[in-house]
A and B are shown apart, each in its own frame.
Chain A
């Protein structure tokens, strides 16, 4: 499905396209698709609908540096899908476009291949049904094992059930728009995305991640 509703301002969804100074990251996204009966969502820290994405200004040279990069995961045998789908630029939510990892906390990790200053992150879980993913945590590190030197840029584990520290970010309902997350100018070579199931099932689906940054090596 090639249709796109909106392009980045000065188009920055593809790594080869540069973003001019003081432009704003705006995610491009596919049309909405709706399947299946939605399960009720009742989370105490669910944000209000239609919250506008943050305004993230970026300087010259910032691109989606995750495009085409290698992805690894905590689940050696995903139920369906290939890990390279997560950085292939396709954000459709239908069968054949997403990777589904097993139950409990799982993660996917992008190797940016070089130490990178990160301005923003785009994240698409499964979005063909209203649902919220649980305990979404995003960290940046130079350690591929994420044992030390980690910077957390997003954490909505409000009750610290993941035992990775309590987060103050809200839970949110997945939509075709994806989620734009400030990168806080964190630096590191690796970006890891955690989740722990969702409000429809206990599984962890990933469609696409984008990392807007520039090498600092």
Chain B
């Protein structure tokens, strides 16, 4: 696939893109990754992947793009996923050992440097803590845990271990998000005074996940690892003892951006939600939350909704709204725009500095007439930063860079906990049908 700088072409993302342009003969190409990566471990970091479900596979696809890693082991209680991890890595030229139980893995794999944890949320804290205790650096998927107490224990374990703990809020390493915060909001102050935020992740109706009988996990194994049955194993995100539900699973990504961009947590949370649509799901399938912040610029009120019965509104984004402009940002570049209020000062300087690009549809048509009772359409701009890697790769690169002493973590356990503390309160606010006030100590583990 041909690409241009102006496109975010997915063929850039993988070794496929490189290999496809780097070699021509199909047979030669298939062998190439094996040859490249099977050459000794040398100074490479020895890595194990804990959890090879859907998210583990997403991470694995990014991990395989990162040089300097040696994949030594994978772990998953589901033989199907375990086999996936082993086979995927063998195809890439590694020879990993597969384990059902993480304790067996830690007992046998003595020279590991780091683990990537992508297990169900209720296992994050136990797995993270035992790996830190074993002297390993840990990258753990968000949400940190299914309870705030478990999340706190991870920070405590990290402090005691002296090892690194990165939490998988991958937007913090996305160059477009970093540009929006560092240059557009902080330096150029494009939005002016931010007064409000709006965010959402809306997803169309989706049935419960299933699995073919021939790949069923034995009941005793399921029970040993905390699952009632295969249905609960496949749909753990919806069960209260195993996860925090959609506000945790999806909302955490974006509410973390609220907190990161504002540089503070909210002073209060109020929310409404319910288990209204799906009969088999324990957690709220729709939640609407309002966060109140006190910032140096003044109060900020933020609304967030996660809906799992409609994809209305364009899916997922965060929009920071100020008195001079607004910054709408998403992992989907098509949903990212900067809008200028008429009262804003000239932005030509920032366009000249390439902070902003004039959008193709920047100005309304000349013959557009606006009813005097309406506000005229806003002028739109684009951000010139393109992520030409899989979405999670920069965050993983940041983690391994920190392991090698090259950089600091973009989302260590302390900062992740400070951000997630308010997210944990949303479900509490829904249940209590009350406003939950937060104090500074709530953000410290």
Contact = CB atoms under 8 A, between A and B. Distances in A.
B14 A31 contact: no
A90 B15 CA distance: 31
Given A32-B205, A32-B206, A201-B14, A161 B20 contact: yes
Contact of A80 (B13, B17, B87, B334): B87
A202 B55 contact: no
**Chain A binding surface, main DSSP class:** loop
A95 B30 contact: no
Contacts of B87: 77-80
Contact of A94 (B13, B210, B331): B210
Contacts of A92: 210
A199 B333 CA distance: 14
Contacts of A200: 10, 61
B20 A196 contact: yes
Interface residues of A, number: 45
B402 interface: no
B220 interface: no
B81 interface: yes
Interface in B183-225: 203-207, 209-212, 214-215
A42 B210 contact: no
Interface in A11-52: 31-44
Contacts of A143: none
A104 interface: yes
Contacts of A37: 58, 331, 391
Nearest to A93: B209
Given A33-B209, A96-B80, A105-B26, A42 B54 contact: no
Given A96-B80, A196-B20, A79 B91 contact: yes
Interface residues of B, number: 52
Interface string A198-212: 111111000000000
A83 interface: no
Contact of A134 (B11, B29, B207): B11
A39 B29 CA distance: 25
B84 A94 contact: no
Contacts of B61: 200-203
Nearest to A201: B61
Nearest to B330: A40
Contacts of B315: 38
A197 interface: yes
A1 B210 contact: yes
B30 A102 contact: yes
Contacts of A201: 13-14, 61, 390
A152 B21 CA distance: 24
Nearest to A45: B1
Given A36-B55, A159-B1, A201-B61, A42 B80 contact: no
Contact of B207 (A32, A100, A105): A32
B15 A103 contact: yes
Interface of A: 1, 3, 31-44, 74, 77-80, 90, 92, 94-97, 100, 102-105, 134-135, 159, 161, 163, 196-203
26 contacts: A32-B204, A33-B206, A33-B207, A35-B206, A37-B58, A37-B331, A37-B391, A39-B391, A40-B10, A40-B331, A40-B333, A42-B7, A42-B8, A43-B1, A77-B90, A77-B91, A80-B83, A94-B209, A94-B210, A96-B211, A96-B212, A96-B214, A100-B84, A104-B29, A134-B11, A202-B16
